[in-house]
Structure 1
Amino acid sequence: MFGSVVALLATLSLVAACSNETDGGAVFDSKAPGKQQERDETPAAKITFAPADGAKDVPVLDPIKITVDGGELTDVKLVTPAGKEVAGKLAADKLSWTSGEVLGYGKTYKYEATAENESGKESTQEGSFTTLAPAATPRATINPGDEATVGVGMPVSIKFPEGPVTDKAAVEKALKLETSVPVEGSWGWLGDQQVDWRPKEYWPANTKVTVNAKLYGLSFGDGAYGKSDLSTSFTVGRSQVVKINTPQHKMDVYRDGSLAASYPASNGKDADPNLNTPNGTVIVMSKEPVGDFSNPRYGYTNVKKKWAVRISNHGEFIHENEENRANIGKVNSSHGCVNLFEADAKKYYDTALVGDPVEITGSKAKFPTTSDVFDWLIPWSQWQSMSAL
Structure 2
Amino acid sequence: MGRGAYGSAGLLALALLTACSVNSPAEPPQGAAMAGGARGASVGVSPADKTANVPTDQPVVVSAQGGRLRSVRVDGGKSGPMKGVLSSDGTRWRSLGTARPGTAYTVTALSVDAAGKQSETTSTYTTVKGDKTFDIETITPNKDDTGLTVGIGMPVMIAFDKPVADRVAVERNLSIHSSKPVEGAWHWFDEKHVDFRPQKYWPARTKVRVDAKLAGVRGGPGMYGKRDVRLDFKIGRSQITKGSTNEHVLIVRRDGKKIREMPMSAGQGGQMKYHTTSGVHLAMSREPVTVMTSPGIGPGSAGYYQLTVYNTVRISNSGEYVHSAPWSVGSQGNSNVSHGCVNVSPDNASWFIKNTLIGDPIIITGTPRPLEPTNGWGHWQENWKQWLKWSSLKAGPTVLLH
Same fold (TM over 0.5): yes
CA contact (8 A) 1:110 1:128 kept: yes
Q: In the TM superposition, what whole-angstrom CA distance separates every residue of 1:74-101 from its partner, at most 9, and x where no partner exists? A: 9998765669888899999999998789
Greater CA deviation, 66-75 or 289-298? 66-75
Greater CA deviation, 62-71 or 206-215? 62-71
Q: In the TM superposition, what whole-angstrom CA distance separates every residue of 1:162-184 from its partner, at most 9, and x where no partner exists? A: 213x3333333333323323333
How far apart are the structure 2 equivalents of 1:342 and 1:53?
73
Please state if 1:202 is matched with 2:184: no
Deviation at 1:350, TM superposition (A): 0.5
User: 2:6 corresponds to which residue?
Assistant: none
User: 1:333 corresponds to which residue?
Assistant: 337
User: 1:26 corresponds to which residue?
Assistant: none
Deviation at 1:307, TM superposition (A): 0.8
CA contact (8 A) 1:213 1:230 kept: yes
Please state if 1:177 is matched with 2:173: no
Q: 1:370 aligns with which of 370, 374, 398?
A: 374
How far apart are the structure 1 equivalents of 2:179 and 2:219?
30
Greater CA deviation, 190-199 or 45-54? 45-54
Greater CA deviation, 65-74 or 366-375? 65-74
Quick check: which one's helix share is greater? 1
Residues 98 and 335 (structure 1 numbering): CA distance in 2 closer, same or farther, change over 3 Å?
closer
Residues 60 and 253 (structure 1 numbering): CA distance in 2 closer, same or farther, change over 3 Å?
same
Map 1:128-143 onto structure 2 (within 5 A): 129-140=125-136, 141-143=138-140
SS at match of 2:54: coil
> What are the ranges of 5 or more consecutive residues in structure 2 without an aligned counterpart?
1-37, 395-402
How far apart are the structure 1 equivalents of 2:289 and 2:94?
58
CA contact (8 A) 2:151 2:360 kept: yes
Map 1:114-153 onto structure 2 (within 5 A): 129-140=125-136, 141-145=138-142, 148-153=148-153
User: 1:264 corresponds to which residue?
Assistant: 263
CA contact (8 A) 2:56 2:218 kept: no
Please state if 1:319 is matched with 2:339: no
User: 1:384 corresponds to which residue?
Assistant: 388
Q: Which residue identity lines up with residue 341 of structure 2 in the other structure? A: C
How far apart are the structure 1 equivalents of 2:206 and 2:167?
28
SS at match of 2:290: strand
User: 2:349 corresponds to which residue?
Assistant: 345
Please state if 1:108 is matched with 2:104: yes
Deviation at 1:149, TM superposition (A): 1.2
CA contact (8 A) 2:129 2:222 kept: no
Q: Which residue identity lines up with residue 159 of structure 1 in the other structure? A: A
User: 1:192 corresponds to which residue?
Assistant: 191
TM-score norm. by structure 1 comes to 0.72
How far apart are the structure 2 equivalents of 1:288 and 1:189?
29
Greater CA deviation, 42-51 or 364-373? 42-51
Please state if 1:55 is matched with 2:54: no
How far apart are the structure 2 equivalents of 1:252 and 1:275?
23
How far apart are the structure 2 equivalents of 1:73 and 1:143?
43
How far apart are the structure 1 equivalents of 2:79 and 2:283?
51
User: 1:6 corresponds to which residue?
Assistant: none
How far apart are the structure 2 equivalents of 1:310 and 1:333?
19
CA contact (8 A) 1:314 1:370 kept: no
Deviation at 1:273, TM superposition (A): 6.9
Residues 265 and 100 (structure 1 numbering): CA distance in 2 closer, same or farther, change over 3 Å?
closer
Q: Which residue identity lines up with residue 197 of structure 1 in the other structure? A: F
How far apart are the structure 1 equivalents of 2:324 and 2:278?
21
> Relative contact order: is structure 1 or structure 2 higher (C-alpha 8 Å, sep ≥ 6)?
2
> What are the ranges of 5 or more consecutive residues in structure 1 without an aligned counterpart?
1-41
Residues 351 and 105 (structure 1 numbering): CA distance in 2 closer, same or farther, change over 3 Å?
same
How far apart are the structure 2 equivalents of 1:137 and 1:83?
15
CA contact (8 A) 1:273 1:365 kept: no
Deviation at 1:112, TM superposition (A): 7.9
How far apart are the structure 1 equivalents of 2:258 and 2:112?
77
Deviation at 1:241, TM superposition (A): 0.9
User: 2:27 corresponds to which residue?
Assistant: none
How far apart are the structure 1 equivalents of 2:360 and 2:242?
11
How far apart are the structure 2 equivalents of 1:54 and 1:294?
65
User: 1:360 corresponds to which residue?
Assistant: 364
How far apart are the structure 2 equivalents of 1:283 and 1:221?
33
User: 1:168 corresponds to which residue?
Assistant: 167
How far apart are the structure 1 equivalents of 2:386 and 2:82?
47
Q: Which residue identity lines up with residue 163 of structure 2 in the other structure? A: G
The structure with the larger Rg is 1
How far apart are the structure 1 equivalents of 2:88 and 2:362?
59
Residues 153 and 109 (structure 1 numbering): CA distance in 2 closer, same or farther, change over 3 Å?
closer
How far apart are the structure 1 equivalents of 2:382 and 2:89?
56
Superposed CA RMSD:
4.0
